Amino acid sequence: MEATVGGGEISYKDAGVNYTGGLDQFKKAASRAAWETETTLAKGRFGFEPLKRSRGGSVFLSRQILGADERHRLGLHSWSVSGHLVETLGTKSLVADAMYKLTGDPKYYRNLPQDAVAMIVNDAATGGVVPQTINMLLEVGSSNWFKDIPPSQAIIKGWRDACIDVRCVWGGGETSVLKGLLYPDVFSLSGSATGISLHDDPESFSDGSLIQEGDAIVFVMGNGIHANGLSLARAIATRPMHGWKEDIRYIFGMEVRKVLPDGYLTKMNDGRTFGEALLDPTPLYSTLVEDCLLADCELHYAVNITGHGLRKLMRPNYPFAYMVDRLPPKLPIFESMQKWGPISDKEAYETFNMGPGYALYVPPHEAERVITIAKAGGFEAYQAGNIYTCGEKRVSLPNGIEWGPHDLSI
C-alpha cells in the first residue's frame, strides 16, 4: 500500500547518528593519537615510511623503499606505495534480518557482502589503491546463528564473488561469537584490505592537493542508498504516528500505529518494496578508478560519497568552491524516504548520496575520457560541475543548498 506522511520531519540525528555530536571529534582525536606512533615505532623501520598527509583520509598510505635490483625486477619506481584500511557494513544487515523474517527468503543476505567489500575498496580507491587481499570479520551474538545455514552460505558466496569482481584475493578473516555484546540473532560484517597504489602521486591524490582551478566534477551514478544512512531508513520503517492517541495506546500496551503500516514491505511508486530497495548492493567503484589509472588518466581526487552526503565533495582542506550544475533525478528510494519521513531536501542531501555514489575530479580535457571508461565498465557517469578557487571551501548545488567549512570537519 502507498503510505501517508505522519508527524514532523525526521533527521539522521533523530535516528541516533550525530556526526557533530562526538563521532567526528573521536575520529580526529584517534588520528592524532595514531600519529604519535609514527615517531616512536615506524620511522624508517625495514624501509617503511608512513605518508603523513594520508592520515585522517579514507585510506592510510605507506611507502616501501626498494633497492635498484628489486625495482628492476618488479618494474616499479624507486618506491612502492601500499594502502591499508578497515571498514564496516554498519546496520544494513538489520534490514536483511527483517526481510528474512517477513518473507522467509535468504536472498536478502546475498548483496550484503558486496556492500561491505564496496565500503572497503571504494575508500581504498581514493588513494589510487588497488586491493591485493581482503579479509572478512564476521561477529555474531550466539553460535546458534550459524545453525541457520542459508544466510551464512549467502554471505560466504557474496563475499567470494565481490572479491572476484574487484580482482583481488580473499585472504582470510576472523569469526567471533560476542555473547552478551550482540543480540543472539544479529551479526556484524566488516573487513580490511591491503593493496598497492597505481597513482603517480598517491599522497597528493589522497589529500586533494592536486586539485586545480577549473577541474571538472564527474559524478558516477549509484543505484540507491548504498550502505550509509541506514539508521535513518530503519527509523522510517518503524516510526510511530505522532499524536495523543498513540501516546494513550503506548501507555496501555496497545499496538501503536506506524507511519508505514506495512513497514519494509510498503510499496514504492515503482512497485518495489521499501526493504528490497534498501538492500540493492553498493557498486564497486574501485574498478573504475583502477581502469582510469591503467589508462593513464589524470585523476586529481576521488570522493566516495558515503556518510555526510554531498557535503563530502569538499572533504579536502583547501579553499575551493565545488559548484554542481546538474543533479540527477531522485531515485524512487530517496523520493519515498523524503515523503514518508518526511525528510527535508537539505537533510537528505547531507545524509544520503541522493544518486551520485562517487565523484572524480579531473582536468576538463580528461572528463569525457573518464566518462567513456566508466560507460565501458558498466557505470553511468556525467560531468556535474566544476571547481573554482574561493576564500573558503564550500559546496553549491543547483537546488539552492549550500554548505561551508563549518558544515564538514573530518
Angle at 314 between CA 333 and CA 30, to 5 degrees: 95
Q: Quote the distance between the C-alpha of residue 315 and its chain's center.
A: 14
Residue 4 has pLDDT above 50, yes or no: no
Percentage of the chain surpassing pLDDT 90?
A: 73
Q: How far apart are CA 90 and CA 106, in angstroms?
A: 19
Pairing of strands 394-396, 320-324: parallel
| Average pLDDT rounded to a whole number, residues 23-46 | 69
Residue 11 has pLDDT above 70, yes or no: no
Confidence (pTM): 0.87
Task: Report the range of poorest mean pLDDT among 61-75, 224-238, 266-280.
Answer: 61-75
- CATH class as words, domain 19-230+277-407: alpha beta
Q: Which three cell numbers stand for residue 30?
A: 584517534
Give the model's pLDDT for residue 409: 77
| Average pLDDT rounded to a whole number, residues 377-405 | 97
Q: How far apart are CA 146 and CA 130, in angstroms?
A: 32
Residue 40 has pLDDT above 60, yes or no: no
Give the model's pLDDT for residue 242: 64
| Average pLDDT rounded to a whole number, residues 340-354 | 94
154-157: which pairs have CB atoms within 8 A and are 24 or more residues apart? Answer: 154/106, 154/107, 154/109, 154/110, 155/109, 155/112, 155/113, 155/189, 157/110, 157/113
Angle at 178 between CA 19 and CA 133, to 5 degrees: 70
Q: Quote the distance between the C-alpha of residue 136 and its chain's center.
A: 17
Report residue 38's pLDDT band, with 50, 70 and 90 as the boundaries.
Answer: confident
Angle at 90 between CA 159 and CA 97, to 5 degrees: 75
- φ and ψ of 182, to 5 deg: -115, 155
- φ and ψ of 387, to 5 deg: -115, 135
Residue 44 has pLDDT above 60, yes or no: no
- φ and ψ of 238, to 5 deg: -115, 10
Task: Report the range of poorest mean pLDDT among 17-26, 107-116, 247-256, 345-354.
Answer: 247-256
Give the model's pLDDT for residue 14: 61
| Average pLDDT rounded to a whole number, residues 347-364 | 97
Give the model's pLDDT for residue 85: 95
11 to 278, 341, 346, 349: CA distances (angstroms): 17, 8, 10, 11
Q: How far apart are CA 181 and CA 213, in angstroms?
A: 50
| Average pLDDT rounded to a whole number, residues 5-18 | 58
196, exposed or middle or buried, with CB in 10 Å at 0-12, 13-18, 19+? middle
| Three-state SS sequence of 95-126 | HHHHHHHHHCCHHHHCCHHHHHHHHHHHHHHH
Instruction: Note the pLDDT tens digit of each residue in 276-335.
Output: 999 999 999 999 999 999 999 999 999 999 889 999 999 999 999 999 999 999 999 999
Pairing of strands 320-324, 129-140: unpaired
Task: Report the range of poorest mean pLDDT among 11-20, 110-119, 228-237.
Answer: 11-20
Q: How many CB atoms are located within 10 Å of the residue 145 CB?
A: 19
Q: How far apart are CA 237 and CA 258, in angstroms?
A: 8
7-11: which pairs have CB atoms within 8 A and are 24 or more residues apart? Answer: 7/239, 7/241, 7/242, 7/259, 8/242, 8/342, 9/341, 9/342, 9/343, 9/344, 9/347, 10/232, 10/235, 10/236, 10/239, 10/341, 10/342, 10/343, 11/232, 11/343, 11/347, 11/351
Instruction: Note the pLDDT tens digit of each residue in 231-265.
Output: 999 999 988 776 555 555 555 555 556 789 899 99
